Structure 1
Amino acid sequence: MTIMEPPRTRERRRQDVLERLERETEVWVASADAEGVPCLVPLWFVWHGEALWLVTRPTNPTGRNLRSGGRARLAFGDTLDVVLIDGEVEVHDREEVPGPAADAFHAKTGWDPRAGSVPYAYYRVRPRAVQAWHEERELPQRHLMRDGIWLA
């Protein structure tokens, strides 16, 4: 395989990440418990208010890990089109989730976790670091956000 395209600029990669956040419906969510045991699951999400909003049951391993650890790593794509997001997690029970965020989640996924008898919680992930790259040629400039500030 021969790579003919030049690396994308940071600005182009930031725009590609933001477009992906609007377009995609699932993201891989990595968390860990107090002993460091990892957990990796795909969850539906919505990008709303400069944060990703995830939903899962508060009693499952991911829900417990996100609540107690307060951090998550999110991943999109395959090995040729990678996006990694490290973020701080804020938990909202379904009774206290901001209406616009829950409505945006419902509009994107077609599912309203506020309805029904099974309890779900919303997890707001505010990005603190974002990396994105297409193959090795973009690795040197892969960092697009550090400490919550976009570099491009």
Structure 2
Amino acid sequence: MKIDKGPRAAGERMRDVLGRLERETDVWVASADGAGVPYLVPLWFAWDGADVWLATRPGNPTGRNLRAGRRARLALGDTRDVVLIDGEVEVFSAREVPSAAAEVFAGKHGWDPRSERAAYAYYRVRPVEVQAWCEVRELPQRTLMRDGAWLV
């Protein structure tokens, strides 16, 4: 492998992260059960400009883990262009979800979980830490958000 470009500036990496949150469809969602057993699944997501919104069945492992643990790690990209988001989770039933968030989700995907016969819940992931890097050259300055505040 030949690295022929220098690292992106933090501002450029932040803009790239925000752009990906707007345009990408799927995010990897990592959660863990009470015994610490990890669970990893891809889910559709929506970004409202501050938080990541997920929707899944409340009784499946991801739904149970997010409700109980109130923490998640989200991952976008491949191994050469990584975005990791660690966040705090708040759970909403389909009736409790803020309508603006549900509309952002439905508008992005053309699917509204509130209209399903099966029960769905919404999970707001409020970012606490965001890291982004392209290959090893950006590892030293990969943290863009810490304690819920952008560093850029």
TM-score range, shorter chain: over 0.9
Pairing of 1:84-123 with structure 2 (within 5 A): 84-123=84-123
Aligned counterpart, 1:3: 3
State the match for 2:15 in structure 1.
Answer: 15
**Residue identity in the other structure for 1:115:** S
Is 1:43 aligned with 2:23? Answer: no
Secondary structure of 2:17's counterpart equals: helix
Q: 1:68 and 2:60 equivalent?
A: no
Residue identity matched to 2:127: P
Instruction: Name the aligned partner's letter for residue 11 of structure 2.
Output: E
In the TM superposition, residue 49 of structure 1 has moved relative to its aligned partner by 4.2
Q: Structure 2 regions of 5+ residues with no counterpart?
A: none
Q: What is the DSSP-based 3-state SS (H/G/I as helix, E as strand, rest coil) of the residue aligned with 2:92? A: strand
**Letter in structure 1 aligned against 2:86:** D
Name the CA distance, whole Å, in 2 between partners of 1:29 and 1:110: 21
Cα distance in 1 for residues equivalent to 2:85 and 2:125: 9
Residue by residue, what CA displacement relative to the aligned partner does 1:106-139 show, whole Å, maximum 9, x if unpaired? 0001110000210000000000000000000000
Please give the secondary structure, in 2, of the residue aligned with 1:95: coil
> In 2, Cα distance between the equivalents of 1:49 and 1:4?
33
Q: Which digits, 9 at most, give the CA deviation of each residue in 1:11-37, with x for residues without a partner? A: 110000000000001000000000001
Q: Deviations over 1:31-75 (max 9, x none)?
A: 000000100000000001400000000000000000000000000
| Aligned pairs, number | 152
Is 2:91 the counterpart of 1:82?
Answer: no
Q: Which amino acid aligns with 1:127?
A: P
> For residue 48 of structure 1, what is the amino acid of its counterpart?
D
Say whether 1:124 aligns with 2:119. no
Residue 57 of structure 2 is matched in structure 1 by 57
